[in-house]
Chains A and B, each alone.
Chain A
Amino acid sequence: MDRIKGSMKQIVPWVVPFLLLICWQVFSWMGIIPEKILPAPSDVFQAGLSLLGTGELYEHVSISLWRALAGFLIGGVIGFLFGLFNGISKYSDLLFDTSIQMLRNIPHLALIPLVILWFGIDETSKIFLVALGVMFPVYINTYHGIKSVDKKLIEMGRAYGLKGKSLFFSVIFPGALSSILVGIRFSLGVMWLTLIVAETISTDSGIGYMAMNAREFMQMDVIVLSIVIYALFGKLSDMIARYFEKKLLHWNT
């Protein structure tokens, strides 16, 4: 692997997706893939451009992004704080962990009918579902990260006069960080998944709505466009998470 040069390392992973795209386009032109089953990539691109022109695309994408982000922040912060307290304090652990583990085992998407009855189909229901989905992976990994910080390092810190805040920021938090970041990366996946399902079932705006609406008019290109946008956002959020992982854990190379 060492012989592969830097620039090649950047290009090679994209060869397969690019080839697939070209095949797809060529087969569509030749009529092997019927337009009613799957539109050509160029048609999808066209649909994207025209929706961008009317401002529709921007509207749907921004509302979806807002839901994703708001849900992620609310769920992430709650999960992180519970993970933190339960990881550090035995009392908090004893009091809350069992309850959280029970709630965690309910598939949060199963709550959709209930959530619609509670909140209707407006923003609250979607943000609630995303937050619920994001909370548990962040909780589990923060909790586990703090529990598994090397006890010997904590003892060293105490022996060298660290306690409370300084012990937390010098030893416990950095020791748990890699596990916390794994939780965040995982929860980003859950975030998109939850949003897609929630938006397809009940909504009047957003990317999922755009796709469901297009289905009624048999606009295959718009449906595929929505899927592509989801994929792009998923990849983008994963890249951002990886970037922070690299930046925050650069000692670990």
Chain B
Amino acid sequence: MNFHTEEPIHVQLAGVEKWYNELNVLKGMDLQAERGEFIAVVGKSGCGKSTLLRLVAGLEQSSSGFIYMDQKPLKSLNKHARIMFQDGRLLPWKRVIDNIRIGLPGEWKGKATEALENVGLGDKKKEWPNNLSGGQRQRVALARALVHDPELLLLDEPLGALDAFTRMEMQGLIESLWQQKKFTSILVTHDVEEAVALADRVILIESGMIMMNQEIPLARPRQRTQPAFSMYLEMIMDRIMNRMPKKNYIVEQNYQMS
């Protein structure tokens, strides 16, 4: 993917700050995402990455600075975006299909069924969420977010509570749906490997500031065993842990693997 074309900027943060009383969670954050780009935001707990996502979703308002969607400032709930939460937040008193149709106007049946089939749970329509496994619940939550055909998908550590195997499966699913539907995506995660596997660009946040903005120009689907993958992974990890680089990274701006 080439980032230097005239593609319009889809999401833009300009000097965004967030204060909770005396606590400065985000400190003058500038960030741009192009249409269709997959951005991963990593950082230690409490660095402000989830707050960033909630601001873009419009669930909270920034203390100063602006968030623009297609150059228009965001003032309330972001109608172009859908957010998927770590704990799924399915309504336990609604069956799977009725959870997916939440907020869908008009003719919903076909859309909801299709969304459920897209995440491979076409046969669970009538189940109660409590009877599903953790991975299945997150699939339903993903279907519920995507049924609205959002231009922007916000993922708040969506796979954090899943076991390693289910997580890999879900990463594949998210990647393929993203390639298919071409929505812009911002993924908040504490799993750097997940970030490198999925994102076009990895942002590292430390105490409310962007400390690293690293493109990952690897071809998809990405093999985690390939040397370039490990190199990016190590580079970001070193930066997070404040380790001195052990060796010289073979960093080239247009590094390509196929």
Within the assembled complex, what's the spacing in Å between the Cα atoms of A174 and B128? Answer: 14
Do A160 and B128 form a contact, CB below 8 Å, given A170-B91, A252-B92? no
Within the assembled complex, what's the spacing in Å between the Cα atoms of A174 and B95? Answer: 13
Q: Which residues of B contact A235 (CB under 8 A)?
A: none
Does the CB pair A160–B102 fall under 8 Å? yes
Does the CB pair B91–A171 fall under 8 Å? yes
Does the CB pair B102–A170 fall under 8 Å? yes
* A152 contacts the other chain (CB 8 A): yes
* A158 contacts the other chain (CB 8 A): yes
Interface size counted on chain B using CB atoms at 8 A: 19
Does the CB pair B85–A152 fall under 8 Å? yes
Within the assembled complex, what's the spacing in Å between the Cα atoms of A77 and B102? Answer: 29
* A240 contacts the other chain (CB 8 A): no
Q: Which residues of A contact B20 (CB under 8 A)?
A: none
* A18 contacts the other chain (CB 8 A): no
B77, B87, B92: which contacts A152 (Cβ < 8 A)? B87
Give min CB distance, B1 to chain A, whole Å.
29
Which residues of chain B (45-79) have a CB below 8 Å from chain A? 57, 59, 77, 79
Does the CB pair A160–B91 fall under 8 Å? no
Within the assembled complex, what's the spacing in Å between the Cα atoms of A10 and B144? Answer: 42
Give the A-B pair count, Cβ closer than 8 A. Answer: 48
Do A251 and B92 form a contact, CB below 8 Å, given A152-B87, A159-B77, A160-B82? yes
A160, A162, A251: which contacts B93 (Cβ < 8 A)? A251
- 13 A–B contacts from the bound complex (CB under 8 Å): A152-B85, A156-B89, A159-B57, A159-B83, A160-B82, A160-B103, A160-B144, A166-B103, A170-B91, A174-B93, A175-B93, A252-B92, A252-B130
The B interface is mostly helix, strand or loop, or mixed, namely loop
Most chain A CB neighbours (cut-off 10 Å) among B57, B82, B83, B89: B89
Give min CB distance, B95 to chain A, whole Å.
8
Interface string of A101-133 (1 = CB under 8 A from B): 000000000000000000000000000000000
* A95 contacts the other chain (CB 8 A): no
Does the CB pair B91–A153 fall under 8 Å? yes
Do A157 and B102 form a contact, CB below 8 Å, given A152-B89, A170-B94, A171-B91? yes
Do A156 and B92 form a contact, CB below 8 Å, given A251-B128, A252-B130? no
Give min CB distance, B133 to chain A, whole Å.
17
The 10 closest A-B pairs by CB, nearest first: A161-B103, A160-B103, A156-B89, A174-B93, A251-B93, A251-B128, A160-B102, A159-B83, A162-B103, A152-B89
Q: Which residue of A lies closest to B88 (CB)?
A: A156
Give min CB distance, A49 to chain B, whole Å.
47
Q: Which residues of B contact A152 (CB under 8 A)?
A: 85, 87, 89
* A155 contacts the other chain (CB 8 A): yes
Within the assembled complex, what's the spacing in Å between the Cα atoms of A175 and B89? Answer: 13
Within the assembled complex, what's the spacing in Å between the Cα atoms of A229 and B89? Answer: 47
Does the CB pair B57–A251 fall under 8 Å? no
Within the assembled complex, what's the spacing in Å between the Cα atoms of A174 and B99? Answer: 13
Q: Which residues of B contact A161 (CB under 8 A)?
A: 77, 79, 103
Q: Which residues of B contact A157 (CB under 8 A)?
A: 102-103
Q: Which residues of B contact A171 (CB under 8 A)?
A: 91
Given contacts A156-B85, A175-B93, A249-B93, 12 further A-B contacts (CB under 8 A): A152-B85, A152-B89, A156-B89, A157-B103, A159-B82, A160-B103, A161-B103, A170-B102, A177-B93, A251-B92, A251-B93, A252-B93
Give min CB distance, B142 to chain A, whole Å.
13
Give min CB distance, B16 to chain A, whole Å.
19
Within the assembled complex, what's the spacing in Å between the Cα atoms of A153 and B102? Answer: 12
Does the CB pair A153–B77 fall under 8 Å? no
Give min CB distance, B69 to chain A, whole Å.
15
Within the assembled complex, what's the spacing in Å between the Cα atoms of A252 and B91? Answer: 11
Q: Which residue of B lies closest to A154 (CB)?
A: B89
